[in-house]
A and B are shown apart, each in its own frame.
Chain A
Amino acid sequence: MTRLVVGPFNRVEGDLEVTLELADGAVRSAHVNSPMFRGFELILRGKDPFDALVFAPRICGICSVSQSAAAAAALAAAMGVEAPPNGRIAANLVLACENLADHFTHFYLFFMPDFAREAYRGRPWFDAAAARFRAVTGSAVRDALPARAAFLQLMGHLAGKWPHTLAIQPGGSTRPVQTSGCIRIEALLRRFRNWLERELFGDALEAVAGLHDAAALDAWRDARPPAHSDFRLFLEIARELDLYRLGRATDTFISYGNYPLEDANRFFAAGVWDGGVPHALDPRELSEDVSHSWLEAVQAVSHPSQGVTLPDADKPLAYTWCKAPRWRGRVAEAGAIARQVVDGQPLIRDLVARDGGNVASRVIARMLELARVIPAMQRWVRQLRPGEPWCHQATMPREASAAGMVESARGALGHWLEVREGRIHNYQIVAPTTWNFSPRDCDGVPGALEQALVGTPVQDGDAVPLAVQHVVRSFDPCMVCTVH
């Protein structure tokens, strides 16, 4: 048995270290360490509840709007206020813009450059992948960054700026757009759609969103040469490297549901998908465990609303700053794949039924969200009504306790807020990568990534095993959210 420490793990958001025990050319066990602690939950204590809108987005620069949305939802629940239609739609557009931009950034900047590494020279797809995806210098970076920046101009219109907007309020949005703004947003969405259809998919978004099972996806891939579009090239790489059999975790998926609609439903449904069985999401069934975290074990396991975050850097057996969230005491995986499988998207359901969550299906789920959500955003912007209200007012009660649950790009994000005497008494945050990169719990059960890494092939003496890179990055980890 040999031990390998992999870090700094770049092309993820924030700092990450993975310790692997290796035997017989494969990972025998993995320990995932989130090595940075900032203490947002301590900072928020005693603050005015509305100040959470300033602090929460600054937990994370890449999920900043998601953190705003969760904070605003918790404050709204505490006050019992609902946004008017314009405010609700604007918040959905802003959150969708961040989530899709993150999927896009992950694909082009973080995930695909690994296939351009020299170790893959000689593979049939290598030359195409290297020319397109090589870090910093590949043609995709030159093409994708301007497209991303142009898409994020939606934030300039609806949120003032990104990251770190204060536009998303419990009662709606601070930013009323007028007709000219709506026209410009429609135009930039058309432009981004065109880019995706030309470069990423080489096909209409509706054609991709309509792929209903694995066979249809394979047929779509083979209908044109791999170099025809970036997604096809990825699918060909996934086929040739068999990424469908790499990085399987627990196959229990959790989604809080996203984008509230006018009828109290969400555009993506909430729920848990547990080995093929659907469950309703009951927030009372969530818990956090700190048995292997550098945190004082005031209680070993607690509901997030009762959670405590007090650092203890010398705690025996602990190996990360990350807590271990659990559903019914069990490990669950969050992310686009969880959202799509819970929502019943047929292709992702089929892929998960065949090979569970894996490197390929996680990436496919993200790309599918780009194809599904852009058309929805185009509908939403046409539902905005300049001249009608954007924000409702309410006052914070002296005592309140509430939760805000949304889906960021990386999955289930929850804020639990307790107000006493008009100030924040407790504020607890459970982020999606906290779910995915959780350490072992008090029963010694490893977290989702720790399980996904077991069995990953590693060549002797390979200090930077590529398969490990693929598995880790397939989760699109956000380490700054994980430990806040």
Chain B
Amino acid sequence: MLSLMWLQSGGCGGCTMSLLCSDAGEPFGMLHDAGVELLWHPATSERTGAEAIEVLEACAEGGMPLDIFCVEGAALRGPQRSGRFHRMSGTGRAMTDWIARLAARARYTLAIGSCAAYGGIPAAGANPTDACGLQYEGALKGGLLGARYRSGCGLPVINVAGCPVHPDWVIDTLLAIASGGFGEGDLDSLGRPRLYADQLVHHGCARNEYYEFKASAEKPSDLGCLMENMGCKGTQAHADCNLRPWNGVGSCTRGGYACISCTEPGFEEPGHPFARTPKIAGIPIGLPTDMPKAWFVALAALSKSATPRRVRENATADHLVVTPAVRKTGLK
């Protein structure tokens, strides 16, 4: 069995809440079946207070093997690098100390969510708590554990980024580790598991036809593409949100609002209001990652002029005002 310890620091607990929404319904049972045994999790374990500290100490001192160490929430280094913005209750010690001690013993260290991976939401604005990720500060390597950190198995911190994470991103990563076949080649250049980060949010977006014709939403509840006006970054953001539904049927863009690229370092400070697309001369500045800009602009102009009336009118409505034509001659 592989032992798993989970701690929460400068975050909201939302990644755990999301994990419990797993469509499999019973994530811990699924992990147990794969040979992953929960040593302690703040939301679910029976052990509390002194009993929990005993397990934490045993892992930190090396007396109890720690195979998988998951941290949810940013490392809060302030004030003045004292870590006092989060002292682990019952211990008087800064959580940053606990994380560093346990990470030094773990065979695999996982940052669960964008806070633990890159700093995330608590690092926004003036970053009042000096928040950072386990091995990144925004897109820069470093963070709490330092750029050279390697866990016992030789891997850097595995960044299961997202705000929150999709339950399956966590479960699939843990299952891959449990199967013994998870290596450096399974991580992208920002340390994210490629099993979800090799996709773009755009892939499988239900608004795809509107995107093709640049038939854009203009206000909340419109059916059209959210990229041109509503701040959507789905064509650039790495995640499979529209291939792997959330809560059974959803995703951000299916919910009618922009992808805010929550799996990317620094998403918390986009430099513009989240729900408004920044533009220069009427053209969005954030265009699809691997497409030459001139081509995009040319194709957009062409597709806009070729937009069918159905797509154009539905794009700014909250229900289908024109339905697809029914051909009675059979489809060829």
Interface, chain A (partner B; CB < 8 A): 5-11, 13-17, 33, 35-39, 42-48, 50-51, 53-55, 58-62, 64, 87, 105, 109-110, 113, 116-117, 134-136, 141-142, 145-146, 148-150, 152-157, 159-167, 169, 171-176, 178, 184, 311, 313, 386-387, 389-391, 393, 463-464, 469, 480
Could you give 18 example pairs across A and B, Cβ below 8 Å?
Answer: A8-B53, A11-B43, A37-B86, A43-B126, A105-B20, A109-B44, A141-B26, A141-B44, A160-B253, A161-B247, A164-B163, A166-B257, A174-B255, A174-B257, A176-B318, A391-B221, A391-B318, A464-B51
| Contact B84–A313 (Cβ < 8 Å) | yes
B89 on the A face (CB < 8 A): yes
Q: Which of B25, B40, B76, B125 contacts A45 (CB 8 A)?
A: B125
Question: Restricting to B49-98, which residues have a CB under 8 Å from any CB of A?
Answer: 49-53, 76, 79, 82, 84-91, 95
B124 (CB) vs chain A CBs: closest residue: A43
B92 (CB) vs chain A CBs: closest residue: A5
Per-residue 0/1 for B112-156: is the Cβ within 8 Å of any A Cβ (1 yes, 0 no)?
000000000110111011010000000000000000000000000
B22 on the A face (CB < 8 A): yes
B235 on the A face (CB < 8 A): no
Residues in B whose Cβ lies below 8 Å from that of A33 = 89
Q: Which of B29, B219, B250 contacts A393 (CB 8 A)?
A: B219
Q: Which of A45, A136, A164 contacts B45 (CB 8 A)?
A: A136
B37 (CB) vs chain A CBs: closest residue: A136
Question: Restricting to B1-43, which residues have a CB under 8 Å from any CB of A?
Answer: 8-18, 20-23, 25-29, 38, 40-43
Q: Which of B29, B128, B246, B262 contacts A156 (CB 8 A)?
A: B246
| Contact A165–B20 (Cβ < 8 Å) | no
B243 on the A face (CB < 8 A): no
| Contact B85–A36 (Cβ < 8 Å) | yes
Given contacts A7-B49, A38-B85, A53-B274, 14 further A-B contacts (CB under 8 A): A6-B49, A37-B76, A37-B85, A50-B274, A149-B25, A153-B247, A164-B262, A166-B260, A166-B274, A174-B257, A176-B256, A176-B318, A176-B319, A393-B220
B158 on the A face (CB < 8 A): no
B290 on the A face (CB < 8 A): no
| Contact B43–A387 (Cβ < 8 Å) | no
Q: Which of B14, B38, B319 contacts A387 (CB 8 A)?
A: B319
Residues in A whose Cβ lies below 8 Å from that of B25 = 145-146, 149-150
Residues in A whose Cβ lies below 8 Å from that of B256 = 160, 167, 173-176
Residues in B whose Cβ lies below 8 Å from that of A386 = 319
B255 (CB) vs chain A CBs: closest residue: A160
Q: Which of A15, A36, A167, A464 contacts B257 (CB 8 A)?
A: A167
CB distance from B300 to the nearest CB of A (A): 24
Q: Which of B18, B44, B248, B252 contacts A166 (CB 8 A)?
A: B252
Residues in B whose Cβ lies below 8 Å from that of A8 = 42, 48-49, 52-53, 88-91
CB distance from B105 to the nearest CB of A (A): 19
Residues in A whose Cβ lies below 8 Å from that of B51 = 463-464
Q: Which of B44, B89, B252, B275 contacts A160 (CB 8 A)?
A: B252
CB distance from B72 to the nearest CB of A (A): 9
The 10 closest A-B CB pairs, nearest first, are A160-B255, A61-B14, A7-B89, A7-B90, A146-B25, A17-B89, A174-B256, A156-B247, A156-B250, A39-B128
